Amino acid sequence: KDFTTDQEVRWCPGCGDYVILATVRGFLAELGLRRENLMFVSGIGCSSRFPYYLEAYGIHSIHGRAPAIATGLAVTRPDLSVWVVTGDGDALSIGGNHLVHALRRNVNMTILLFNNRIYGLTKGQYSPTSEEGKVTKSTPMGSVDHPFNTLSIALGAEATFAARALDSDRAGLSEVLRAAAEHRGTSFVEILQDCPIFNDGSFDALRRDNAAAHLVPLHHGQPIRFGTDNEFAVVRNGFGLEVVPTDTVAESDIIVHDAHTDNPEYAYALSRLSDQGLDHVVTGIFRSVTRPTYDDGVRAQIATARERKPVDQDSLQSLLTGPETWTVS
């Protein structure tokens, strides 16, 4: 079963969403997940049409509110695998509040944030991740906003699982999704996604021949080196990290990636290597640590409350029906 539906897919030709959909369909089948145990919740935007195109349960919900709806589902239906599909506008503008609280609470869900750095559905306005100076229909003289660094937001909220992948990198995306699905708590995955209609070529530097010079792939337990011949390496610099030519540093100075470091500062420093430009875009799993989940905590409290305070049926009945005689004055 590959979770294909008979729904007509209504994304523009060449949209990166197609590749992500194909990868997710294939990956879910590989994991042996059943459609009756899967729930995809989306907000509003091009990416949020995703639930229509999977043979599973889904809610195309309210702008920016998918994490709140998914939280309710995760608490009340622990038998479900709950997924949120959102975009940079949906999650980081109107929904910024809901996103960070889901992350800090560590609700048991997987959030896929398709970042195309533009509002596609409304035809090309700048988004919270658009670069400074970007000319769009709503910024004809160039954006004066400083954009969010998506991974920095997630790690600042102490996400227990945070990762980034490219839409066109099927193997890398599948690997990240597999780990995200297995993680207990909120898994946050940013997927850099092409919008060829309103932001064409925005990630071209990561796809061309010299992509190796820009992509910094993370592998747990391995030194962080990249480039065609591993000619670049990541080392400590004060409180942060920096990229240097490999032949200018000792092997022992190169950072060995540890996704399980409890302190989020290290993963945060990694996220700062990818700023507005595409010079060094870190991909893979930044952080994967264990912390109690919100939904487990709520369910445990409900169980305790039931045990300690059995409901008095007479009192409950009187609350439900009210006094037998009503006095009208």
The contact set with ligand SF4 (CB under 6 A) reads 11-12, 15, 17, 46, 116, 120-121, 195-198
Least CB distance from residue 166 to ligand SF4, whole Å?
A: 15
Angle at CA of residue 55, ends 53 and 57, nearest 5°:
100
- How many angstroms separate the Cα of 263 from the Cα of each of 36, 243, 267, 271? 37, 21, 8, 14
Query: Helices 96-105 and 66-76 meet at what angle, rounded to 10?
Result: 30
How many whole angstroms separate alpha carbon 100 and alpha carbon 160?
12
The SS3 of residue 167 is coil
Q: In this complex, which beta carbon is closest to ligand SF4, that of residue 123 or of residue 178?
A: 123
Q: Spell out the SS3 assignment of 38-49.
A: EEEEECCCCHHH
Least CB distance from residue 59 to ligand SF4, whole Å?
A: 20
Least CB distance from residue 295 to ligand SF4, whole Å?
A: 31
Q: What is the DSSP string of 190-229?
A: EEE--BTTTBTTTTGGGTSGGGGGTEEE--TTSB-EESTT
Q: What is the largest CA-CA distance in the chain?
A: 90
Least CB distance from residue 60 to ligand SF4, whole Å?
A: 15
Least CB distance from residue 115 to ligand SF4, whole Å?
A: 11
How many whole angstroms separate alpha carbon 76 and alpha carbon 48?
23
Least CB distance from residue 209 to ligand SF4, whole Å?
A: 24
Q: In this complex, which beta carbon is closest to ligand SF4, that of residue 93 or of residue 261?
A: 93
Query: Helices 294-308 and 66-76 meet at what angle, rounded to 10?
Result: 40
Q: In this complex, which beta carbon is closest to ligand SF4, that of residue 59 or of residue 197?
A: 197
How many whole angstroms separate alpha carbon 271 and alpha carbon 18?
27
Q: In this complex, which beta carbon is closest to ligand SF4, that of residue 12 or of residue 300?
A: 12
Least CB distance from residue 61 to ligand SF4, whole Å?
A: 18
- How many angstroms separate the Cα of 76 from the Cα of each of 70, 72, 96, 309, 325? 10, 6, 24, 20, 37
Least CB distance from residue 157 to ligand SF4, whole Å?
A: 25
Tokens standing for 79?
Answer: 């038998």
Q: In this complex, which beta carbon is closest to ligand SF4, that of residue 158 or of residue 167?
A: 167
Q: In this complex, which beta carbon is closest to ligand SF4, that of residue 195 or of residue 233?
A: 195
Dihedral sign (CA 314, 315, 320, 325): positive
Q: In this complex, which beta carbon is closest to ligand SF4, that of residue 21 or of residue 102?
A: 21
How many whole angstroms separate alpha carbon 90 and alpha carbon 84?
11
Q: In this complex, which beta carbon is closest to ligand SF4, that of residue 203 or of residue 268?
A: 203
